[in-house]
Amino acid sequence: MPRTDSLPASKPGRPQLSDCTTADGAARREIKPRLSPLPSVAGRSPHRPGAAAQPPQTEALTSRASRSQAAARQRVVDGNGVLLVCRRDIDNGSVDASRLVPGVVPARGWPPSGSGELPAGQRYFPDEDRANLPQSDELLRRLRSTCS
């Protein structure tokens, strides 16, 4: 079984560079993609886990994901989690929506200043499913900021 010793801590959502020792004792370095955890995304439970991904980590949310990426994605789903990707990345072509696996939820960022897209005093856009987005004001603010 390979042993992994993490190098300097990486930021959430960024690949993690690791030193690995393979079963035959050969040393190698590999990059492991990571999903950014959202500790309590709304849904049936106020503590519903979730993961937001930005390119290039969005590869883990596509049909082209590696086996380990697909397994990590499935653990989130099996734990009643939500997989999120920024709608901005779909709109600008960074993420191909046709390759996203079923259940991945596009999240919107803040609307442009002066826009009427997000009604005054409302937390959610009219066409958003609140069950897939954070109930916490702080987590929703962070998600919208990330996706702006």
Q: Where are the domains of the chain?
A: 1-32, 34-146
114 or 45, which is more confident: 114
Q: Across 41-45, 60-64, 133-137, which has the greatest mean pLDDT? A: 60-64
CA distance 57 to 148: 17
Backbone angles phi, psi at 93, to 5 degrees: 85, 5
Pairing of strands 104-107, 36-41: unpaired
* pTM (two decimals): 0.65
CA distance 88 to 109: 7
91: confidence class by pLDDT, cuts 50, 70, 90: very high
Does 45 score more than 50 pLDDT? no
CA distance 96 to 112: 24
User: What would the pLDDT profile of 60-80 be if each residue is shown by its tens digit?
Assistant: 999 999 999 999 999 988 888
- Are 89 and 52 within 8 A, CB to CB? no
Considering the chain, what percentage of its residues have pLDDT values greater than 70? 67
User: Which pLDDT value is given to residue 89?
Assistant: 95
